[in-house]
């Protein structure tokens, strides 16, 4: 033993700056992403997409493609008559046989010996189309006589020949609606001294994951399906793939290689995945399908573009009286999670601030555009953009300081909102005050207003925005739980097998910290296993900023059970009551004296190798004490709620329209900091994503066609534009959170655009209600060369 390296103990791991466990592999280029995996006998697949935006398919000729040497299979909808629809509304068949509704639409696919051969074969497929009218905007889609995107029932035929309607026809192009109300709007209006109304337009952006989408599908000789998949929700997808394929879900195994970015984009099944599976089934070979970057732009989901009309009022004392909101969401050609973002939007609209009377009506409208999925924030960026603009406008209208106005209406701990959310821990007012004081917000706000007419073309301004988001999971399924298995070996090395998935957010490290903290072990004593559905216990998946909270509590539960077992063994071995013992620095200690009784590994070995041989192996399933919402969208959907305020400082060049983000001062109620380095990185990354949404990113869609499917013309923020970021953590020590922590994943991206809009107004006196704030858009607004968005006439 003496020759061996002894583990290092650094005391408590909570709140320390701990490098992510996967950082050395990623930084040294050793991480094996799905792109790096090649299976023996593997074929490469490519998809033929539509050359038309909206058309009937008259004929498909795959003869030349099939004849190309090296091609193993060419499939069209006709080859998979048993295919079933995917997506949230089941309105989307993976391979389109009779009609295309968007240029991303999949018509045929090839599996071949190489990517080059597959690409060449795709080019040999001939498709004859009969064009249909293009529905380019939600506004056009709602006009009387507009072409219907899904005007006929979608019927599939089972293997037994039975026909089944899987999606009902939509005769008005409406894909999904949500209506929520609390209080009484006319009463609220009657109490108001000021009412403001605006129409906001939120644009298309997409995730731009550095790792493009991909999948490898393989059937073994017994027809069990193995998928290497980048999914964020492996257990949900296992079930969904089983339904798609008519298989027993137990025969599907999903392995998640390290994922090169998710951000919500991998919450749904997209056509390329079933297509790769069909090809694997037909060829009896492993089939790998990896997107090109252009395909990633074209055929991965977007954030939901929204047109939002909002009226808000307040009393002379600053109290909000009502908020009346209607939105139209551009759903795109098919329905994915984007259509359900109103779940989150209505929380911000009804409950970020106390507003007694509130209406929220929303419709997702089919168009021939790219279809929207879920994206970090899940509708919250759009809702916050409108709500925070009105907080500033109302404050100005009654002559009140915007910080004071917000403090009057901000939620307090203990509040149960009309929507049923119970804010057991709530650091919102601390967030407001901390961000304001660290940024010197009030002084800078007043100073900037005094310079609107000083003749200097370059203006400075500050803007404030806050956010509310779920921070303790979100019970949108019957269970919002996560399982953990902890196995300790005879050297006290822990294998922490968690249901949770790692998508770069740093969950492995935080889960390891929580378990090690409980068991008195260093981080080097743990291996996290989290990527194989045949090994790991069930979990909902990565969404709703839930992993630290839910999987953290689960890991903690399993660790506590292991600890109890070890302490019980030590108690009997040393004849001291277990309550007197603890685990620290790899040893069992006596709490009162600090005396080290035995190394944990030695104790475990004595358990293993005794005549009553026993292993230290525990399981725990954590289910948060939250509730599914009822049909009126009421219910305490999360076990905890996260809060944040961000103040931005900007510079606007009124002669060019360039808006520079100079500094972001954030205060985040995160419950408790677990990994300080990790959470700083997550917040900085989120701020930069919010900056891109506000200032540079713009997926330009014209008549259904994406005009900038590349990083040259789709402008991500690059290193020189990243502002100074000052983050304060408000530690409210949530009673249900693991070690007091709440979720933080989505929060930092949510307020940036809203705060920048307020800062542009503070700098220039011009309120811009449409994103993005690219130089030309800002310049046009400043020089009255653009119209503010207007509400849809046909609506």
Partner 1 sequence: MSPQPATTGRPAVAPEEGVAAIETYAAPRSLAEAVALLRTGEATILAGGTDLMPQSKTGRARFQRMLMNVRHVPELRGIRGTQDCVRFGALTTITELLDSALVKNRFNALWQAADHFASEQLRNAATIGGNICNASPAGDTLVPLLVFDARVELTSEVNGAAARRTLPLAEFFVGPGRTQRRATELLTAVEVPLPPDGFFSEFYKFGTRPALDISAIAIGFGAVRDGQRLRQVRVAFGAVAPTPIRAAKTEAALASQPLPAAIEPALAAAAADIHPISDIRASAWYRRELVRNVLRRMLNNVTQN
Summarize as ranges the residues that interact with partner 1 (CB under 8 A).
Answer: 49, 51, 103, 116, 119-120, 122-123, 292, 294-295, 297-298, 655-658, 696, 700, 705-710, 712-713, 715, 717-721, 774-776, 779-780, 783, 785
Q: Which residue lies nearer to partner 1 by CB, 130 or 294?
A: 294
**At its nearest, how many Å lie between partner 1 and the CB of residue 708?**
6
Largest CA-CA distance found in the chain, in angstroms, rounded: 89
**At its nearest, how many Å lie between partner 1 and the CB of residue 786?**
11
- What burial letters (b/e) apply to 458-472, b meaning 16+ CB within 10 Å? ebbbbbbbbbbbbbb
Q: Which residue lies nearer to partner 1 by CB, 295 or 734?
A: 295
**At its nearest, how many Å lie between partner 1 and the CB of residue 783?**
8
Instruction: Enter the tokens of residue 447.
Output: 């100073």
Q: Which residue lies nearer to partner 1 by CB, 441 or 693?
A: 693
Picking from 668, 648, 667, the residue whose alpha carbon sits closest to that of residue 659 is 648
Please return the burial class of 649, using the count of CB atoms within 10 Å of its CB with bins 0-12, 13-18 and 19+. Answer: buried
**At its nearest, how many Å lie between partner 1 and the CB of residue 656?**
6
**At its nearest, how many Å lie between partner 1 and the CB of residue 204?**
14
The whole-angstrom separation of Cα 788 and Cα 795 is 18
- Other beta carbons within 10 angstroms of residue 792's beta carbon come to 19
**At its nearest, how many Å lie between partner 1 and the CB of residue 335?**
22
Instruction: Enter the tokens of residue 764.
Output: 């220039």
**At its nearest, how many Å lie between partner 1 and the CB of residue 248?**
38
Q: Which residue lies nearer to partner 1 by CB, 297 or 445?
A: 297
Q: Which residue lies nearer to partner 1 by CB, 446 or 718?
A: 718
Instruction: Enter the tokens of residue 634.
Output: 């009421």
The whole-angstrom separation of Cα 683 and Cα 537 is 29
Instruction: Enter the tokens of residue 186.
Output: 């006319």
Instruction: Enter the tokens of residue 780.
Output: 């046009």
The secondary structure of residue 260, as a DSSP letter, is: S
Q: Which residue lies nearer to partner 1 by CB, 719 or 793?
A: 719
The whole-angstrom separation of Cα 15 and Cα 27 is 23
**At its nearest, how many Å lie between partner 1 and the CB of residue 695?**
8
**At its nearest, how many Å lie between partner 1 and the CB of residue 117?**
9
The whole-angstrom separation of Cα 767 and Cα 384 is 15
**At its nearest, how many Å lie between partner 1 and the CB of residue 104?**
8
Picking from 520, 462, 475, the residue whose alpha carbon sits closest to that of residue 494 is 520
Sequence-ordered alpha helix ranges (H) in 411-506: 428-439, 441-449
Q: Which residue lies nearer to partner 1 by CB, 282 or 658?
A: 658
Query: What residues does 197 pair with on adjacent strands?
Result: 311
Q: Which residue lies nearer to partner 1 by CB, 265 or 774?
A: 774
- Is residue 307 within a helix (H) or strand (E), and if so which, with residue range? strand 306-314
Q: Which residue lies nearer to partner 1 by CB, 103 or 504?
A: 103
The whole-angstrom separation of Cα 703 and Cα 252 is 40
Q: Which residue lies nearer to partner 1 by CB, 580 or 715?
A: 715
The secondary structure of residue 148, as a DSSP letter, is: P
The whole-angstrom separation of Cα 28 and Cα 19 is 14
């Amino acid at each position: 033993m003496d020759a061996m390296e002894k583990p290092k103990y650094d005391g408590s791991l909570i709140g320390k700056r701990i490098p992510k466990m996967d950082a050395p592999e990623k930084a040294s280029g050793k991480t094996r992403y799905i792109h790096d995996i090649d299976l023996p006998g593997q074929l490469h697949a490519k998809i033929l997409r539509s050359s038309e935006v909206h058309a009937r398919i008259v004929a498909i000729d795959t003869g030349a493609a099939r004849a190309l040497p090296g091609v193993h299979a060419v499939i069209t909808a006709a080859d998979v008559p048993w295919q079933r629809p995917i997506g949230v509304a089941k309105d989307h068949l993976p391979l389109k046989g009779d009609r295309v509704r968007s240029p991303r639409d999949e018509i045929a696919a090839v599996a071949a010996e190489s990517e080059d051969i597959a690409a060449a074969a795709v080019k040999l497929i001939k498709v004859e189309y009969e064009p249909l009218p293009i529905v380019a905007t939600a506004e056009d889609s709602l006009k009387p006589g507009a072409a219907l995107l899904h005007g006929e029932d979608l019927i599939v035929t089972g293997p037994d020949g039975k026909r089944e309607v899987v999606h009902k026809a939509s005769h008005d192009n409406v894909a999904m609606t949500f209506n929520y109300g609390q209080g009484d709007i006319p009463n609220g209006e009657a109490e108001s001294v000021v009412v403001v109304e605006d129409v906001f337009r939120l644009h298309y952006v997409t995730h731009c994951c550095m790792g493009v989408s991909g999948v490898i599908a393989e059937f073994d000789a017994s027809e069990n399906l193995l998928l290497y998949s980048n999914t964020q929700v492996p257990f949900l997808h296992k079930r969904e793939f089983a339904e798609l394929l008519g298989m027993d879900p137990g025969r599907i195994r999903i392995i998640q290689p390290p994922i090169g970015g998710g951000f919500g984009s991998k919450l749904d099944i997209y056509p390329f995945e079933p297509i790769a599976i069909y090809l694997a089934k037909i060829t009896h070979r492993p089939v790998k399908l990896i997107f090109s970057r252009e395909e990633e732009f074209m055929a991965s989901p977007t954030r939901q573009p929204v047109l939002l009309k909002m009226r808000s009022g307040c009393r002379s004392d600053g109290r909000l009286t009502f908020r009346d909101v209607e939105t139209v969401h551009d759903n795109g050609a098919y329905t994915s999670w984007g259509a359900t973002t109103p779940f989150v939007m209505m929380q911000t609209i009804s409950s970020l601030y106390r507003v007694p009377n509130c209406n929220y009506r929303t419709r997702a409208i089919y168009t021939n555009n790219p279809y929207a999925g879920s994206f970090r924030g899940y509708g919250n960026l759009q809702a916050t953009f409108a709500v925070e603009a009105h907080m500033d406008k109302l404050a100005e209208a009654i002559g009140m300081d915007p910080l004071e106005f917000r403090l009057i209406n901000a939620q307090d701990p203990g509040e149960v909102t009309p929507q049923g959310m119970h804010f057991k821990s709530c650091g919102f007012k601390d967030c407001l005050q901390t961000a304001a004081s660290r940024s010197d917000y009030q002084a800078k706000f007043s100073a900037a207003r005094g310079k609107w007419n000083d003749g200097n073309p370059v203006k400075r301004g500050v803007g404030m925005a806050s956010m509310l988001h779920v921070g303790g999971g979100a019970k949108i399924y019957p269970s919002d739980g996560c399982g953990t298995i902890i196995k300790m070996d005879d050297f006290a090395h822990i294998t922490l097998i968690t249901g949770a998935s790692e998508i770069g957010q740093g969950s492995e490290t935080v889960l390891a910290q929580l378990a090690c903290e409980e068991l008195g072990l260093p981080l080097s004593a743990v291996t996290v296993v989290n990527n194989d559905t045949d090994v790991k216990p069930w979990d909902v998946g990565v969404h709703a900023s839930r992993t630290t909270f839910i999987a953290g509590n689960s890991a903690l539960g399993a660790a506590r059970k292991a600890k109890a077992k070890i302490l019980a063994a030590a108690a009997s071995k040393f004849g001291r009551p277990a309550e007197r013992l603890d685990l620290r620095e790899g040893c069992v200690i006596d709490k009162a004296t600090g005396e080290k009784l035995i190394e944990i590994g030695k104790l475990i070995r004595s358990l293993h190798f005794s005549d009553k041989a026993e292993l230290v192996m525990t399981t725990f399933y954590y289910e948060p004490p939250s509730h599914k919402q009822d049909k009126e969208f009421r219910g305490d959907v999360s076990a905890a709620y996260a809060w944040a305020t961000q103040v931005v400082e900007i510079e606007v060049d009124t002669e060019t329209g360039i808006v520079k983000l100079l500094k972001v001062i954030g205060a985040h109620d995160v419950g408790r900091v677990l990994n300080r380095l990790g959470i700083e990185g997550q917040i900085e990354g989120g701020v930069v994503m919010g900056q891109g949404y506000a200032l540079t990113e713009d997926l330009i869609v014209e008549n259904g066609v994406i005009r900038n499917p590349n990083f040259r013309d789709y402008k991500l923020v690059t290193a020189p534009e990243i502002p100074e970021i000052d983050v304060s953590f408000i530690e409210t020590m949530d009673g249900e959170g693991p070690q007091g922590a709440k979720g933080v994943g989505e929060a930092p991206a949510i307020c940036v655009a809203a705060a920048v809009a307020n800062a542009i107004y503070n700098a220039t006196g011009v309120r811009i209600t449409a994103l993005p704030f690219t130089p030309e858009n800002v310049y046009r607004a400043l020089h009255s060369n653009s119209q503010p968005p207007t509400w849809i006439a046909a609506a």
